[in-house]
Amino acid sequence: MQGAGYDSWMMTPDQWCETTWRASPGSFVALMTLYESNYIRLGWLCGDLGALAACATARIDAAMSLDYQIEERGPYTSLLRMRLHASSTEGASGLPDLYVRIYHDARVVEASDVRIVGHEAGPLPVAGNELGPRWARNVMLNKWLEYCADRGCRFLPTATNSTSMF
């Protein structure tokens, strides 16, 4: 994307995230690669993740917008609440409401909580060990970020952004 002001590392295709050995889906190695892919994809939308404004909104299309609000900001991590909004109340059910933790020093992003608007709160239904729910949340975040990026959703840098921490 020419002229958008994003650093070249933020436009790196996420399929080129390397693993040190063959990783099977749902494994710890694959999960860490997924976190790295989430970082890259969130960077596509937000630009410099170390210099995020306290809140921002981006239009996906005429009927939908995406917003984030920083819930916590620390020296090495930030917690964002990201929500998708529909223009009409008819389309509001089933939209994601996520809490996303950015690990700035490790350059990874983890979906720490996923809620679906209009559905009873609770974890995503996944069987298995602790990796199962983490895998499900983060695959959902990964696909959602890709969906938003594919539709041209971008949080453009504004004068209210803080300076980069990293």
pLDDT digits (tens, 9 = 90+) for 123-163: 555 555 678 888 889 998 999 899 888 888 888 655 444 44
Of the candidates 28, 2, 6, 3, the one whose C-alpha atom is nearest the C-alpha of residue 130 is: 28
Q: Locate the domains of the chain by residue range.
A: 24-119+131-150
Average pLDDT over residues 8-16: 51
Confidence of residue 108 (pLDDT cuts 50, 70, 90): very high
Rounded CA separation 10/125 (Å): 32
Q: What is the pLDDT of residue 88?
A: 67
Q: For the whole prediction, is pTM greater than 0.85?
A: no
| 103 pLDDT more than 90 | yes
Q: What is the pLDDT of residue 8?
A: 45
Cβ 76 vs Cβ 105: under 8 Å? yes
Q: What is the pLDDT of residue 144?
A: 87
E strands of 40-166, at which residues? Answer: 55-59, 64-73, 77-86, 96-103, 108-116
Q: What number of other Cβ atoms are within 10 A of residue 78's Cβ?
A: 21
Of the candidates 47, 101, 48, the one whose C-alpha atom is nearest the C-alpha of residue 78 is: 101
Average pLDDT over residues 82-110: 83
Identify which has the larger pLDDT, 119 or 36: 36
Of the candidates 137, 142, 145, 90, the one whose C-alpha atom is nearest the C-alpha of residue 118 is: 90
Q: What number of other Cβ atoms are within 10 A of residue 40's Cβ?
A: 22
* Coil/strand/helix, residue 68: strand
Fill in the amino acid letter for 63. Answer: A
